[in-house]
Structure 1
Amino acid sequence: MTKVERLLSILVTLLNREVVSADELAKKLEVSKRTIYRDIESLGLSGLPVVTIHGRNGGVGLMPSYKMDKYLFSDEEKQKIIESLKIQHNILQEDNQVLIEKLENLKGNDESFNHLSYYSPTMHRIEIEQETKEKLATLRGAILQKKKLKIKYISLNGDITSRVISPSNIVLTNGSWYLEAYCEKRKDRRMFKLTRIREQLLIDEESTSIEGKEFNITTIYEQAELTFHRNQLGKLYDFFLEEEIEIRSNYIKVTFKYDSNRNLIPFLLMFGSTVDVIKPQTLKQEYYNELNKIHKKINDDNQLSYIP
């Protein structure tokens, strides 16, 4: 059963039950409770009002106000589900056609979404999309067969390593595809960006289960404050919420929280000289250090160009 099928199954169960335990869902769907908790978190992130009920007869459920209209999915909601399934069908080669047709048959005569289409679910060139699509086919095969993979991986810093991994899940986030897998080199669960997987070979060995294994990463959020030139306003709405953007007379101030484990420097460099870091001090220092490196590189190149 795919993750999409599990999510739909959990949703149907929650719509028909006041409360259901994670144990019951895990047994029904033949997965671990930890997987159920991650699926429930995914439902919550998608906007569904999932609530946790504590106590002897506790579990998870949906807010009563939401369940009043539990079967009254609008055509807009059905269309969103259909478009998501089509993305998965086209990119991941999921066989969702029967489910798509069933949902389309449930739609009314509202044609407001007839002209909605997806050119690409990521920000990469078409050639990169095609290369990634081929990788996805191999990765999905390894996951379904529960086999290990040997990959050549290039890190963000350019380090090239050979890894033996046990793939478990494929994720589309921030415009890029990632593979969640257990890495024998690191003896831990890792996320691998597909564009950085340069070689992959299926190994005839049963994969290592990562159920119950957690990422050894503690998410620490920090408050960041940036200022931008006024001419960057249109671009800022690609990355920030309305309430995070404050338009001043001569500049734009952006305040937001970010995961300190993530490297924000490449993101900041996209804005060139139009951005300045106000806080935190650590991020400001990292950004200025990177700017100094770039400045030094430019000066060195210019000096070399004048050598007779």
Structure 2
Amino acid sequence: MKIERLLSILVVLLNNEIVSADELAKKFEVSKRTIYRDIESLALANLPVVTFHGRNGGVGLMPSYKMDRYLFSDEEKQKIIEALKIQTSMVHEDSQMLIDKLESLRGINNMSEHFSFYSPTIHRKEIEQNLQDKLILLKQAIALNRKLHIEYVSQSGEITHRVISPYKIVLNGGSWYLEAYCEKRNDRRLFKLTRIRNYTLLDEEFAAANVEETDLAPSYEIAELVFQRDQLGKLYDFFLENEITIHENYIKVVFSFDNNRNLLPFLFMFSSSVEIIKPESLKRKYYNELNKIYNKLNSDTQLSYIP
């Protein structure tokens, strides 16, 4: 998993002046592109990563940081432990051993009292438990660069059989997804784990480096929504302060969203308390779906009166 690789890369950088991306890629059996992303993640975490150019270039840590390479502040240890606890809660990793070792270090006492993680997803406990077997097999397939045969149910209920090359597990919007290359569609796809109904690990391998070369391109649009005033508390669960404008009798929300994501389930959470101003395409989808529900309710009502 990425968090373990990041910690391992940090240990390598602490013990070496300069390390090339090639060396790191070979050591961790990933592509150079992945290493560059990992280095960027370390930099975003405010670690003093420095890039050295030239013939003997590579990456390293600022000398002042390396002087105390075996010393982590309590705050730094806390952040590492919390990150590992989140990962352990989500996928039952064997990170608990590392957590115990860090917590046993001098200065780390009773830290678990201040941090807990009940569930990272919107799923019921029974569904979450059911997903654990899938997660274990998917991680195995990713580690071994092995293809999978899956039976997948689309949002519209269509059942398809696909051969995929998996390479990333994603937690997004409270649901688990598998990012993989789909041979049926000849393209990269996101598969929701709850909709993968049957799965088989195949003997056939795939080239991981080739799969990682392209990124799923998001297609962003600006949405403008109007909510009833009493929805403010709920809105802070989903939107930033600068996306929310509070008026006397209503609340306007303007935000950017990826058109590849289905916003309808989110909008239905607010029932009649939301109105879509734009984009027009989202508005049409929303009201088309409402019309389907309305027609079905009328149909069911009529049927119930047939003797």
TM range (shorter): 0.7 to 0.9
8 Å CA contact 2:141, 2:148 repeated in 1: yes
Percent identity, aligned pairs only?
A: 64
* Partners of 1:129 and 1:220 in 2: CA distance: 30
Post-superposition shift, 1:4? 2.0
What's 1:307 paired with? 306
Q: For residue 182 of structure 1, what is the aligned residue in structure 2?
A: 181
Unaligned ranges ≥5, structure 2 = none
Question: 1:189, 1:210 within 8 Å by CA — same for their partners in 2?
Answer: no
Residue 210 of structure 2 aligns to a residue in which SS?
coil
Equivalent residue number for residue 207 of structure 2: 209
8 A Cα contact 1:182 1:210, kept in partner: no
The Cα offsets for residues 255-281 of structure 1, whole Å up to 9 and x where unpaired, read as: 111112222122111111000111222
Alpha-carbon distance, 1:11 to partner: 4.0
Contact 2:89/2:117, CA 8 A, preserved across alignment: no
Q: 1:295 matched to which residue of 2?
A: 294
1:121 aligns with 2:110: no
User: 1:139 maps to what in 2?
Assistant: 138
Equivalent pair of 1:190/1:215 in contact (CA under 8 Å):
no
SS of residue paired to 2:116: coil
Report the Cα distance in structure 2 between the residues aligned to 1:258 and 1:189, rounded to whole angstroms. Answer: 20
Counterpart CA distance in 1 for 2:247 and 2:16 is: 50
Report the equivalent of 1:270. 269
The 8 Å contact of residues 102 and 108 in structure 2, kept in 1 or not, is answered as no
**Contact kept in structure 1, 2:50 and 2:62, CA below 8 Å:** no
CA distance in 2 between counterparts of 1:245 and 1:127 reads 35
Q: State how far apart, in whole Å, the 1-side matches of 2:169 and 2:46 are.
A: 22
Change (3 A) 1:232 1:23: same
- Structure 1: which amino acid aligns with 2:95? N
Contact 1:50 1:60 in 2 (8 A): no
User: After superposition, what is the alpha-carbon deviation per residue over 1:81-119, rounded to whole angstroms, capped at 9, x for unaligned?
Assistant: 213323433543422233212321336266575142222
Q: Give 1:157's aligned residue.
A: 156
C-alpha distance after superposition, 1:169-200 (max 9, x if no partner): 32222212222223222233322211111111
Change (3 A) 1:104 1:230: same
Match of 2:192 in 1: 193
* C-alpha distance in 1 between matches for 2:81 and 2:254: 35
SS in 1 for 2:104: helix
Distance (Å, rounded) in 1 between the aligned partners of 2:62 and 2:285: 44
- Give the partner amino acid of 1:29: F
Provide the C-alpha distance between the structure 1 equivalents of 2:94 and 2:117, rounded to a whole number of angstroms.
Answer: 18
Distance 1:8 1:90 in 2: 18
RMSD, aligned α-carbons: 3.3
Q: How does 1:1-308 map to 2 (within 5 A)?
A: 2-12=1-11, 22-40=21-39, 42-43=41-42, 47-48=45-46, 74-106=73-105, 108=107, 111=110, 114-203=113-202, 205-213=203-211, 214-215=213-214, 217-308=216-307
- Please give the TM-score of this superposition, normalised by the length of structure 1: 0.82
> Structure 1 residues 96-105 or 58-67, which shifts more?
58-67
Greater Cα shift, 245-254 or 109-118: 109-118
* CA–CA distance in structure 2, aligned partners of residues 109 and 196 of structure 1: 42
Query: How big is the shift at 1:69?
Result: 9.5
User: How many positions carry a matched residue from both structures?
Assistant: 305
The one-letter code sitting in structure 2 at the alignment partner of 1:185 is K
Aligned equivalents of 1:113 and 1:264: distance in 2?
36
Pick which of 20-29 and 278-287 moved more.
20-29
Cα deviation, residue 20, structure 1: 6.6
Q: 1:306 to 1:69 in 2, by over 3 A?
A: farther
Question: CA separation in 1, counterparts of 2:256 and 2:200?
Answer: 39
Q: Is the 8 A contact 1:34 1:212 kept in 2?
A: no
Distance 1:61 1:50 in 2: 8
Letter of the aligned partner of 2:284 in structure 1?
Answer: Q
Alignment-mate amino acid for residue 167 of structure 2: S
- What TM-score comes out, normalization by structure 2 length? 0.83
Change (3 A) 1:65 1:227: farther
Q: Give, in angstroms, the shift of residue 34 of structure 1.
A: 2.0
Which deviates further from its counterpart, 3-12 or 234-243?
3-12
- Relative distance call for 1:224 and 1:16 in structure 2 (3 A) is farther
